[in-house]
């Protein structure tokens, strides 16, 4: 068959986040400059660790690093109601931002969550896989809620991938209203042009420009730190914001507006989940070095500097970030901010590509056309359909909302949900993987959820102001994933019911009833003992069988990379029939011919360029007895299957050696 059906069955009942596919699922971001020359775990060598930390600046911290463009401004604009003219409010808001960075990003992610890696990989996908492996090792049964949490987390990444480029680029270009007021009305058209160009160049890959990301982002952080420090010198009293008491007092004093204020404060930590998602590319130590040595000091100084500026000049609330700079430097700062925003957007776009690729490999989505844009980095991919979907969504968002302040109303709730899901999964991981007691795991998870719950509740107020958009996108993607997994399960059951056992075929071959021809044939198969439908159709129509037949099952593991010693499992069934299972990690590219050539016994004399690969090509019909809901689901499943890319490219099969045999299947 075209796909490895047992993988779908395995995911349905055993793989909690395989269905999740999330990389806050998200944000699995791979660049040639990272995976090729800068290994993820390089703490053994100090110069290499520093080099990796430098490279991480351009990817891991791009999103959170551009938050100063709009986060502090939003605390005193829109519907929040807090007065910018009261210096106490400015100190309190700055305190909330600083302590959110310390508690959410530093305490939760840097000190705790980053320790939960699955063989070096991070993100919701790896966390869910870690839970599954630990539970199975303990002889338990995976809770079904893990599946739903994983699906929700992965779906929300696509919504985040639409909003982040739009708000980052638009907020950066809006610096024109400060540096060049006569060009202010060009902010939206310029943002559209930049976004269109950004998505257009995706097809060429990011490896060539990836090396520039680190230096540009380092310059960005140095610049925003110096701007904040300059403002602090003129008003050092704002340093009282380093006390958590100021933030607490601010919330009490402005209790009527507390929730809207927290939603604005949350914008300062929206890139925190990326630290965990990129763990596999850099390792925990380089990420921590980059955060404590560069990113955290720069962010804190800039937010304090904006508060100091507004203390002196409350009218600067229209754009406090750009007004930190002297007038001659405001236009260059706009250019630098735009470059930083593009880099932050690139990370989200590449993350969506990588998420889609892993979702396909795990059976959560139908096969999309995937192009590998690097000869030495399998993680550097380009998915045309996802690229143009994101491009259209980003451009429509910019044109519809027109300002970053309006977009901020829709931004945040998807990330808040993802962070809450990570906290919930942490409880299961701490119990199963670390063996923590119920009290210990529950206490720390409860502390995490107090923070996440407060931010999530605050962001829920945004639903009527545009926050519904990411929720609708997330729900739609999650529904499609569920329908695809459900449809594959139903298809597997249907084919298994009507399949012919391999033992029956072996008896016929032993009696010489089937004419054999020279050569080797590969039939994609499930892991069971049934004969693949494509083989039955070949016998029915051509009445011949190759002298060597390999029934091949491709299995996606719940770990990033397969153990080299366990990639192939081979069994000689006799009569020229062989059963083989190839195992690939969810972060690997399933190159079937190369794996078979290097792993099969020499006596099979397998030559990838001379073997014939038989694939099933099914069309689906809806049974007469199906309910209305089932008809809708089956129709959507059939539509997704029809539009899926051929298995030839997915399994790296030589196109000239593939034979597809059609079949009509009623579900």
Assess whether pLDDT exceeds 60 at residue 1. Answer: no
Tell me whether residue 259 is exposed, middle or buried, using C-beta atoms within 10 angstroms of its C-beta: 0 to 12, 13 to 18, 19 or more. Answer: middle
pLDDT score recorded for residue 489? 82
Range with the lowest mean pLDDT among 258-272, 394-408, 454-468, 500-514? Answer: 500-514
pLDDT score recorded for residue 138? 67
The closest alpha carbon to 66, from 217, 196, 184, 198, belongs to: 217
Assess whether pLDDT exceeds 80 at residue 484. Answer: yes
- pLDDT category, 20, cuts 50, 70, 90? very low
- pLDDT (average), residues 307-320: 91
- pLDDT (average), residues 631-656: 80
- pLDDT (average), residues 511-531: 80
Between strands 515-524 and 544-556, the pairing is parallel
Tell me whether residue 352 is exposed, middle or buried, using C-beta atoms within 10 angstroms of its C-beta: 0 to 12, 13 to 18, 19 or more. Answer: buried
- pLDDT (average), residues 114-126: 77
- pLDDT (average), residues 32-41: 35
Q: Which residue has the higher pLDDT, 68 or 382?
A: 68
Distance from C-alpha of 12 to C-alpha of 95, rounded to nearest angstrom: 45
Range with the lowest mean pLDDT among 84-93, 289-298, 380-389? Answer: 380-389
- pLDDT (average), residues 125-141: 72
Assess whether pLDDT exceeds 80 at residue 66. Answer: yes
**Which residues are 580's β-sheet partners?**
552, 570
330, two tokens: 């405001």
Q: Using the structure block, give the residue that is written with the tokens 């930083």.
A: 340
Assess whether pLDDT exceeds 50 at residue 91. Answer: yes
Alpha helices in 433-542 (DSSP H): 438-460, 468-498, 502-510, 533-542
Distance from C-alpha of 74 to C-alpha of 12, rounded to nearest angstrom: 43
Distance from C-alpha of 287 to C-alpha of 635, rounded to nearest angstrom: 46
- pLDDT (average), residues 568-593: 84
- pLDDT category, 19, cuts 50, 70, 90? very low
Distance from C-alpha of 554 to C-alpha of 5, rounded to nearest angstrom: 9
Highest mean pLDDT among 214-223, 548-557, 597-606: 214-223
pLDDT score recorded for residue 487? 85
* Per-residue pLDDT reduced to its tens digit, 317-357: 888 999 999 988 988 999 999 888 888 887 778 777 777 87
Q: pTM value?
A: 0.76
Q: Average per-residue pLDDT in the chain?
A: 80
Distance from C-alpha of 153 to C-alpha of 550, rounded to nearest angstrom: 38
The closest alpha carbon to 352, from 508, 158, 546, belongs to: 158
Instruction: Say what percent of the chain tops pLDDT 90.
Output: 22
- pLDDT (average), residues 193-221: 78
- pLDDT category, 516, cuts 50, 70, 90? confident
Q: Which residue has the higher pLDDT, 610 or 139?
A: 610
Assess whether pLDDT exceeds 80 at residue 156. Answer: yes
Highest mean pLDDT among 230-234, 364-368, 638-642: 230-234
Assess whether pLDDT exceeds 70 at residue 232. Answer: yes
Distance from C-alpha of 543 to C-alpha of 522, rounded to nearest angstrom: 17
444, two tokens: 């720390």
- pLDDT category, 663, cuts 50, 70, 90? low
Please, what is the Cα angle at 12 between 588 and 420, to 5 degrees? 80
pLDDT score recorded for residue 412? 84
pLDDT score recorded for residue 7? 36
Q: Which residue has the higher pLDDT, 650 or 71?
A: 71
Using only the alpha carbons of the chain, give its radius of gyration: 27
To the nearest 10 degrees (0 to 180), the angle between helices 384-401 and 144-173 is 60
pLDDT score recorded for residue 27? 34
CB-based contact 117:278 (threshold 8 Å): no
């Amino acid at each position: 068959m075209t796909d490895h059906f047992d993988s779908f069955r395995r995911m349905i009942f055993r793989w909690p986040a395989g269905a999740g596919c999330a990389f806050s699922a998200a944000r699995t971001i791979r660049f040639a400059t990272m995976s090729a020359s800068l290994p993820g775990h390089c703490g053994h060598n100090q110069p290499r660790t520093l080099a990796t930390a430098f490279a991480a600046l351009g990817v891991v911290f791009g999103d959170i690093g551009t938050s100063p463009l709009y986060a502090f401004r939003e605390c005193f604009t829109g519907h929040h109601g807090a007065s910018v003219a009261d210096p106490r409010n400015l100190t309190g808001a700055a305190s909330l931002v600083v302590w959110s960075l310390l508690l959410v990003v530093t305490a939760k992610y840097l000190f705790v969550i980053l320790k939960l890696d699955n063989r070096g990989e991070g993100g919701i996908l790896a966390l869910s896989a870690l839970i599954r492996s630990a539970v199975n090792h303990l002889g338990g049964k995976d809770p079904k809620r893990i599946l739903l949490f994983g699906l929700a987390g992965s779906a929300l990444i696509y919504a985040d991938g639409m909003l982040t480029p739009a708000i980052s680029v638009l907020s950066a270009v809006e610096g024109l209203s400060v540096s060049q007021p006569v060009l202010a009305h060009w902010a939206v058209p310029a943002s559209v042009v930049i976004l269109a160009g950004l998505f257009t160049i995706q097809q060429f890959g990011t490896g060539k420009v990836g090396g520039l990301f680190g230096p540009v982002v380092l310059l960005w952080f140095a610049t925003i730190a110096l701007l904040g420090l300059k403002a602090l010198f003129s008003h050092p009293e704002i340093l009282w914001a380093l006390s958590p008491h100021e933030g607490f007092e601010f919330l009490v004093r402005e209790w009527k507006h507390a929730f809207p204020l927290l939603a604005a404060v949350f914008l300062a930590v929206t890139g925190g989940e990326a630290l965990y998602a990129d763990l596999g590319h850099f390792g925990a130590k380089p990420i921590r070095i980059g955060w404590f040595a560069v990113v955290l000091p720069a962010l804190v100084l800039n937010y304090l500097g904006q508060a100091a500026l507004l203390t002196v000049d409350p009218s600067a609330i229209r754009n406090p970030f750009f007004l930190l700079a002297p007038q001659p430097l405001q236009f260059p700062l706009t250019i630098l901010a735009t470059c930083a925003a593009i880099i932050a957007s690139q990370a989200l776009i590449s993350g969506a590509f990588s998420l889609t690729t892993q979702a396909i490999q795990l059976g959560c989505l139908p096969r999309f056309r995937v192009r590998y844009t690097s000869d030495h980095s399998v993680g550097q991919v380009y998915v045309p359909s996802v690229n143009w979907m994101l491009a259209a969504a980003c451009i429509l968002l910019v044109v519809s909302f027109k300002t970053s302040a309006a977009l901020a109303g829709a931004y945040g709730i998807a990330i808040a949900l993802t962070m809450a899901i990570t906290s919930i999964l942490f409880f299961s991981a701490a119990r199963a993987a670390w063996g923590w007691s119920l009290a210990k795991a529950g206490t720390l998870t409860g502390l995490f959820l107090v923070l996440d719950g407060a931010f999530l509740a605050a962001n829920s107020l945004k639903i009527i102001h545009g926050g519904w958009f990411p929720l609708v996108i997330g729900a739609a993607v999650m529904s499609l994933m569920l329908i695809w997994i459900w449809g594959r399960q139903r298809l597997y059951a249907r084919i298994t019911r009507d399949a012919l056992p391999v033992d029956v075929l072996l008896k016929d071959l032993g009696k010489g009833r089937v004419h054999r021809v020279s050569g080797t044939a590969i039939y994609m198969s499930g892991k069971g003992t049934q004969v693949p439908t494509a083989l039955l159709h070949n016998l029915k129509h051509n009445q011949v069988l190759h002298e060597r037949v390999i029934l091949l099952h491709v299995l996606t593991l719940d770990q990033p990379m397969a153990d080299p010693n366990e990639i192939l499992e081979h069994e000689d069934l006799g009569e020229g029939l062989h059963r083989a299972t190839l195992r690939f990690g969810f972060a690997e590219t399933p190159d079937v011919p190369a794996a078979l050539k290097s792993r099969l016994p020499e006596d099979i004399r397998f030559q990838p360029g001379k073997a014939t690969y038989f694939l099933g090509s099914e069309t689906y019909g809806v049974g007469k007895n199906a309910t209305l809901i089932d008809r809708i689901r089956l129709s959507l499943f059939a539509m997704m299957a029809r539009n899926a890319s051929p298995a030839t490219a997915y399994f790296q099969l030589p196109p000239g050696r593939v034979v597809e045999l059609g079949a009509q299947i009623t579900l």
